[in-house]
């Protein structure tokens, strides 16, 4: 029966399997607070009930801040973090938040950056763009592919946002995550912790800490709920 079982496994949609991929930091572990990080998960704005201390209480309620705070980076290259948000009528805006080389602790409330009220349940997508290389000796050159926008979320072919570059060229088979360049976990305070990898070249270290930031009041996207562990589903 081994052969039919294997066939069944391989016949599952690869996107479903891929979304539950776990990234375990193999270096710079001090950069992370989360125990477990997942590759390519998507998130919704909870508008959590006030009085809940900003934590998910199993339902949507009064709107609360979406505070995005830079933890740090281990990047030579400079990149910009943006958010992509849709209004209730489907109008989409991209708003700049900060660069990876801004001071750790730099913090913005995403609601104040967008020109419309962010609806409860809206999917919040983060976008990271490399904008400059570095001058010191030994610094790798950036390619046009490195500078293409990278998006949080599953990055499937039919998704609204999909990073153009793929990591399936990596020599290490454990570092092949398709078009996904972000990881996310939940920190001890209950907030989400995101990281992006900036380098798309085959020698990339794939450690996802070229910008690391936390976000309040987001909840796991409905399409991820059955695929990711209780670390992210609350
Ligand atoms: Ca890296």
**pLDDT for 159 beyond 70:** yes
User: How far apart are the CA of 204 and the centre of ligand 1, in A?
Assistant: 6
Give me ligand 1 centre to Cα 210, in Å. Answer: 5
CA distances from 230 to 202, 226, 234 (A): 33, 9, 6
CA 88–ligand 1 middle distance (angstroms): 36
- Is the pLDDT at 36 greater than 90? The verdict is no
Angle at 115 between CA 182 and CA 155, to 5 degrees: 20
* d(CA 146, ligand 1 centre) in Å: 12
pLDDT in tens, 162-203: 999 999 999 999 999 999 999 999 888 888 999 999 999 999
Ligand 1: distance of its center to the CA of 32 in Å?
Answer: 14
Token output for 183: 């990881």
pLDDT reported for residue 172:
94
Q: How far is the CA of 73 from the centre of ligand 1 (A)?
A: 9
Interval between CA 70 and ligand 1 midpoint (Å):
16
pTM: 0.84
C-alpha distance across the termini of the chain, in Å: 37
Q: Worst-scoring range by mean pLDDT, 43-57, 66-80, 217-231?
A: 43-57
Spatial neighbors of 25 by CB under 8 A, at least 6 apart, are: 31, 32, 37, 207, 208, 209
| Collapsed DSSP state (helix, strand, coil) of residue 82 | strand
pLDDT digits (tens, 9 = 90+) for 99-152: 999 999 999 999 989 998 888 888 899 999 999 999 888 889 999 999 999 999
Q: How confident is the model at residue 10 (pLDDT cuts 50, 70, 90)?
A: very low
Residues 6+ apart with CB under 8 A from 151: 84, 125, 126, 127, 161, 162, 163, 181, 182
The Å distance, Cα 110 to ligand 1 centre, comes to: 25
* Residue ranges covered by each domain of the chain: 26-224
Give the model's confidence band at 161: pLDDT under 50 very low, under 70 low, under 90 confident, else very high.
Answer: very high
Mean pLDDT of 90-106: 97
Euclidean distance between CA atoms 211 and 21, whole angstroms: 20
Name the 3-class secondary structure at 169.
coil
Calculate how far, in angstroms, residue 12's C-alpha sits from the geometric centre of ligand 1.
30
CA–centroid distance, 72 to ligand 1, in Å, is 12
């Amino acid at each position: 029966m081994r052969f039919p079982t294997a066939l069944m496994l391989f016949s599952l949609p690869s996107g479903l399997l891929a979304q539950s991929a776990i990234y375990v930091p193999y270096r710079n572990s001090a950069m992370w607070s989360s125990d477990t990080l997942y590759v390519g998960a998507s998130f919704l704005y909870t508008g959590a009930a006030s009085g809940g201390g900003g934590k998910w209480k199993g339902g949507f309620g009064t709107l609360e801040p979406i505070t995005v705070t830079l933890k740090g980076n281990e990047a030579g290259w400079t990149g910009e973090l943006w958010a992509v948000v849709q209004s209730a009528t489907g109008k989409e805006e991209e708003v700049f938040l900060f660069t990876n080389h801004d001071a750790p602790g730099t913090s913005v409330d995403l609601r104040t950056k967008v020109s419309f009220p962010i609806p409860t349940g809206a999917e919040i997508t983060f976008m990271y763009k490399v904008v400059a290389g570095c001058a010191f000796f030994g610094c790798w050159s950036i390619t046009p592919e490195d500078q293409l926008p990278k998006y949080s979320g599953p990055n499937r072919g039919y998704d609204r946002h999909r990073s153009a570059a793929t990591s399936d060229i990596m020599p290490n088979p454990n570092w092949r995550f398709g078009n996904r360049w972000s990881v996310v976990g939940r920190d001890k305070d209950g907030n989400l912790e995101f990281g992006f990898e900036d380098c798309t070249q085959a020698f990339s270290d794939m450690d996802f800490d070229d910008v690391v930031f936390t976000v309040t009041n987001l909840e796991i996207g409905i399409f991820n709920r059955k695929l990711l562990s209780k670390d992210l589903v609350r």
